[in-house]
Amino acid sequence: MGGLSNNWVTDGWIDFEFKKYLVLGYLQDVNRSFEQKKLYPFLSDLIFHYQNLLVIKNNQKLLYDQFPERMTKTDFEKLNMVYDKIVADDSLMAEIVEIIEFATPEFKKHVDNGREIYDGLEKHIEISPIGLTPLYPDEGYIFVLESNKSETKIFEYQVTIFHSANENYRGIRTNFIDSFTRSIGRTLESVKIELIKKYNKLPNPATYLIDSKISIPLDESLMPIAKRMLVRYINNSYSY
């Protein structure tokens, strides 16, 4: 079915039964994904939609601003368009309130379920440094070892700072660069030395092993969880 638009409440045909069908179809896709331990992108989308519903419930102006506008007259002399908001329709507003009241607890239930799955998967993922840890931890490599797989994947990572009005947030970007099979002569430490020789921009790059003890979908769950774990690990290990 695909995702929901950011303004799904007011987009298109505003009818309670139609929007209920839309939400339930979307959440059915979410359930199928969660059953396969595939958390993303659905979990982040769910959180966005749930928080958006809460904000709309508590701020009527935001609901007003979400509505499409229809032109009622044009002042050609001043090149100024005057719009009439559809929200003047009381029956339409009542329909929207019913939609929001139905959807809010449904999204909360699925957000809680997604977070519970997330916490359960995270318990089976371990993170540990490889070799000496440098003074600068915000750039380096992640070795990802998936359960029951012989290959270890190598990702380059870089911690980024996102600025908001009140505080800064730390995120992380990753880029897959290679994979290898561990052996007696090819250890994690020896591969790290190979990377230093091949990519000499960092003489002693921060390098971490992400070890998943159970089978977890790589792109949809393991990597998103691993990146959050790494940011938290760096924050807890270094003073900023």
In the chain, where the domains are located: 16-122, 126-237
- In the DSSP assignment, the letter for residue 132 is P
Note whether 174 and 227 are within 8 A (CB).
yes
Mean pLDDT by 10 residues, the chain (240 residues): 81 90 96 97 95 81 59 46 50 84 96 97 96 87 93 94 60 93 91 90 90 96 96 79
pLDDT at 85: 52
pLDDT at 161: 75
* 16: its two tokens: 């309670």
The full length of the chain comes to: 240
Note whether 117 and 37 are within 8 A (CB).
yes
* 54: its two tokens: 């809460």
**Which amino acid, one-letter code, is at 227?**
K
Helices (H), the chain: 16-35, 42-58, 60-66, 90-122, 188-198, 223-237
pLDDT at 83: 42
pTM (global) more than 0.75: yes
Q: How far apart are CA 15 and CA 98, in angstroms?
A: 9
Q: Which residue has the tokens 């309670």?
A: 16
Q: How far apart are CA 144 and CA 34, in angstroms?
A: 22
Furthest-apart CA pair in the chain: how many Å?
81
pLDDT at 55: 84
Q: Which of 56, 23, 45 is nearest to 111 (CA)?
A: 45
Q: CA dihedral defined by 16, 112, 51, 105, rounded to 10 degrees? A: 30
Task: Return all residues near 232 (Cβ < 8 A) that are at least 6 apart.
Answer: none
Q: For the CA atoms of the chain, what is the radius of gyration?
A: 24
Q: How far apart are CA 212 and CA 20, in angstroms?
A: 38
Q: How far apart are CA 160 and CA 202, in angstroms?
A: 17
Q: How far apart are CA 104 and CA 19, in angstroms?
A: 13
